[in-house]
Structure 1
Amino acid sequence: MRILVVEDEPKTGAYLKKGLEESGYSVDVAADGADGLILAQQEEYDVIVLDVMLPTMDGWAVLKTLRATRATPVLFLTARDDVDDRVRGLELGGDDYLVKPFAFVELLARVRTLARRGPPRESELLKVGDLEIDVNRRRVKRGGNRIELTPREFSLLQLLARRQGEVLSRTQIASYVWDMNFDSDTNVVEVAIRRLRAKIDDGYDVKLIQTVRGVGYVIDCKESD
């Protein structure tokens, strides 16, 4: 099982990583809110341990943005024990709340409970024509041929496939695939689409990723006129 720890205090982050890895988990650590959000959006985690007071983005902002696309269980860590803070965290979509200082055995028990609960699965297998996307294994095939994608390419393809037939603007794509401060005036989205097309569509008669001029992009097994 994979755990993401978002904690800006180096000693606490290292302590949690060591303890959770010794308990059998694979652990990634992010030292600020923006980096934690990017990892949480790009990768598949069983539980996220999220500090509230973080640089660049606080835990509230991270969770609010994350909940637009992910249902990964979140355990808040904070030095603040106000009832209002606990209620705010739960209302934003947090699953549990642990106040610092804490006993590691208690944190571990809560992580295990959340991991067993897990997020609701949307769809384990997405299909667009002869394209198959195994969401949980992060594997992609077209016409039975395996296609290797980078994490960013997979996130982009998954977004398009989940919204099959719906035209997504460059701004929408940027807000889901990149961080919230992404400058949509750059050509990063176009470059990413071009690279994804080279892997998904080159060599196939039916082109799945289509451009709607002046609007954005759509994935569909029906070619546009």
Structure 2
Amino acid sequence: TLTSAEPGGGHGALHLDVTTSAPRRDVDLFGATFQGIDQGEEAAAWLSDFLGVPSRLVRVPPEHDRKTDGLIPGTSGYADSGAVHLLSRSSLTHLHARMAERGAPPLPMDRFRPNIVIDSRPEARHGEDWAAEPHAEDRIRRATIGAVDLGYAKLAVRCAVTLVDQEAGARGGPEPLRTLADYRRAAGGGVVFGAKFSVVRPGKLSVGDEVAVEEWGDAEA
């Protein structure tokens, strides 16, 4: 069951039994056409009313097989690229320190919308806690978390969505892109923060699982 609710409860809550047997409809994803399973009129009406534009809710069908690029290719649903976005808390802490030098306030982790957040281990001996190093995720090539095996695809290029305050639903100032441009500019253009990974072996992972790095590499320029 999928539950969607507006903060404040103005539109009530949507409780939906997600189905895989409903009709398919075309889904446009960055100019490419895929199929999605339409989740019906109730979901469409709730989303259209809440968003203020005609909307439909679709589910990725079981036969969906969209290939993604990167060092270790994989598959993805409707994400722009890469199935998993991984970011470490130490990288965000480092960004906050640089932003503070400009007098800018810190930003929440969810501003960057990572699927997996890596935290350091306070009990680790000095020099053994690789997650305490900012941007160490850039050098991971293969890792296991819980029962999931991940393979590095590429660095995550950040767009203007990071400028939007999710709580207010409005675009704020120039941060974090202004500060990231000082030290995280990619050779091919844009700024990078975090890394995208392909799912090599699907499985279950949980909060608190150890990130076991099987292979390291050099960070991309």
Instruction: Sort the TM-score into its range (normalised by shorter chain).
Output: under 0.3
Normalised to the residue count of structure 2, the TM-score between the two structures is 0.26
Say which structure is richer in helix.
1
Say which structure is richer in strand.
2
- Bigger RCO of structures 1 and 2 (CA < 8 A, at least 6 apart): 2
Normalised to the residue count of structure 1, the TM-score between the two structures is 0.25
